[in-house]
Amino acid sequence: MKITDIDILPVNRYLFVQVHTDEGLTGLGESGAWGFLDASREAVETFKSYLIGQDPLRIEHHWQYMYRCWHFRGAAIMGAISAIDVALWDIAGKYYGTPVYNLLGGKVRDKARVYYHVGGRTTEEMIENLVAAKNQGFTAAGHLSPFLDQPRTEPLSETYAQRIGHAIERVGAYREAVGYDVDLCLELHRQLKPTEAIAFAKGIEKYLPYFIEDPTTPDNLDSTELIAKHINVPIATGERLNSPEEFAQLIRKDAAAYIRPCVCTCGGITGTKKISAIAEAYGVKVVPHNPLSPVSTAACLQIAASIPNFAILEYPGDDQPALSEKFGSTGVEKGVRKKDMVKETFGCQDGYMELPVKPGIGIELVDRVAEKYPYSRRPLLTRLHEDGSVVDH
């Protein structure tokens, strides 16, 4: 079997890749390079020149070839490798007539626990949506910001005491609203400096959050290590890391109780399996980063099914639009739902998602998807402080 062509499909806010073979099998993958999908698309074009004519079942060899071919990587390139890798695993599953997780050692669980995305621009709206998630049967809620979903167009103007104090009070209100029936996965979005994160974490410890995600920027792993050493709240991080080596450094520092590899940015299923194995050896659990399309969800479920140290999966909701529209970061029309782009999605009940049963990753795009849902580049928008300086958001 040989690879005959690779289609690159920019769709809505996503970038899909389809790998075709001379035996009629087609594999589907997705890049998670987020705001730099155009750069990732060009990286796929470069890898395409190598892949056409190759045996698609030599997945590890192709991963090594693409990963080590040059001296430069980064999110756009790793997004391209990830999309191709997921598509190759999709082909392998279809070739052998089985879900990908059976090629990774088989299932270690029968369903995958998820946390549902909850947002809101006010405390009242956030609580209302949190209670609604509980009523839908979810036992964990994430993307749950103690700082609310404030638009990037709104300058940051709070005092330190206001910002940290109000955030702590909100977490208490979240816990009071749902009791102990829902785990709180608190999204900090890299907004805090280490000392701020330490103060915040100590203030919310009594509310027993499942974890705080990305308390500070990931550029200096020592900062996350410093926070972890001074708090008793678990840290989840890693969505902006994109290589096994970076995750290994994070894990060796005991800087995170949960790691968040993005299957669509850290090397696909192959890369995520490598990272998960490193984490397993250190007693660290895996919470796959999954804010993208149902194609990403399908790939994440292969990991969730097959690794023993899986904890919980991010689930943004298939009936929701892209996150940039869902939480109002842009003015783009909100009418396109994630599930509109695929033929079918996976059931979710009582806080658990069913595992794929079809060969491959178990999902297919709708016909003429790129025509139906034209690609729209994410605009560049960064939040500023009231004094005009850039802030992390």
Assess whether 281 and 342 both reside in one domain.
Answer: yes
Tokens of 265: 């940015």
* pTM for the predicted model, two decimal places: 0.96
CB 103 within 8 A of CB 360: no
Assess whether 211 and 346 both reside in one domain.
Answer: yes
Give me the pLDDT at residue 332, please: 43
Beta bridge partners of 19: 6, 27
Assess whether 231 and 353 both reside in one domain.
Answer: yes
Last residue of a domain, one of 98, 131, 157: 98
Assess whether 255 and 338 both reside in one domain.
Answer: yes
* pLDDT grade for 335, boundaries at 50, 70 and 90: confident
Within-domain flag for 38: yes
Last residue of a domain, one of 82, 98, 114: 98
| Mean pLDDT calculated for residue range 129-158 | 95
**pLDDT tens profile 339-392:** 999 999 999 999 999 999 999 999 999 999 999 999 988 888 999 999 999 999
Within-domain flag for 393: no
Q: How far apart are CA 194 and CA 215, in angstroms?
A: 8
The residues annotated as belonging to the active site are 189, 289
* pLDDT grade for 130, boundaries at 50, 70 and 90: very high
Give me the pLDDT at residue 323, please: 67
Assess whether 141 and 210 both reside in one domain.
Answer: yes
* pLDDT grade for 325, boundaries at 50, 70 and 90: low
| Mean pLDDT calculated for residue range 231-254 | 97
**pLDDT tens profile 299-310:** 999 999 999 999
Q: Considering only 63-77, 266-280, 291-305, which range has the smallest mean pLDDT?
A: 63-77
Burial grade of 77 (CB within 10 A; 0-12, 13-18, 19 or more): buried
The residues near 162 (Cβ < 8 Å, ≥ 6 apart) are none
Beta bridge partners of 112: 353
Assess whether 259 and 284 both reside in one domain.
Answer: yes
Q: Which residue, among 5, 60, 38, 35, has the nearest Cα to 269 in the 3D structure?
A: 60
Q: How far apart are CA 213 and CA 256, in angstroms?
A: 10
| Mean pLDDT calculated for residue range 149-162 | 92
Assess whether 68 and 109 both reside in one domain.
Answer: no
CB 29 within 8 A of CB 56: no
The residue segments making up the domain with residue 44 are 3-98
- Give the whole-number percent of the chain exceeding pLDDT 90: 91
Within-domain flag for 378: no
Q: Which residue, among 119, 109, 59, has the nearest Cα to 86 in the 3D structure?
A: 59
Q: How many domains does the chain have?
A: 2
- What integer best gives the mean pLDDT of the chain? 95
| Mean pLDDT calculated for residue range 35-49 | 97
Q: Which residue, among 266, 267, 248, has the nearest Cα to 256 in the 3D structure?
A: 248
Assess whether 18 and 67 both reside in one domain.
Answer: yes
Assess whether 39 and 154 both reside in one domain.
Answer: no
Assess whether 75 and 168 both reside in one domain.
Answer: no
| Mean pLDDT calculated for residue range 171-200 | 97
Other residues' Cβ atoms within 10 Å of the Cβ of residue 393: 17
Within-domain flag for 163: yes
CB 363 within 8 A of CB 342: yes
Assess whether 232 and 300 both reside in one domain.
Answer: yes
Q: How far apart are CA 118 and CA 143, in angstroms?
A: 6
Q: Is the pLDDT of residue 64 over 50?
A: yes
* pLDDT grade for 331, boundaries at 50, 70 and 90: very low
Q: Give the orientation angle of helix 244-252 with respect to helix 221-230, to 10 degrees.
A: 30
CB 168 within 8 A of CB 146: yes
Within-domain flag for 238: yes
Within-domain flag for 382: no
Within-domain flag for 388: no
Q: Is the pLDDT of residue 330 over 70?
A: no
Last residue of a domain, one of 81, 98, 115: 98
CB 328 within 8 A of CB 379: no
CB 265 within 8 A of CB 39: no
- Give the CATH number, domain containing residue 183: 3.20.20.120
Q: Is the pLDDT of residue 223 over 80?
A: yes
Q: How far apart are CA 296 and CA 361, in angstroms?
A: 10
Assess whether 148 and 15 both reside in one domain.
Answer: no
- Give the CATH number, domain containing residue 74: 3.30.390.10
Tell me the C-alpha to C-alpha distance, in Å, between residue 118 and each of 149, 165, 229: 10, 21, 29
Within-domain flag for 304: yes
- In 3-state terms, what secondary structure has residue 342? strand
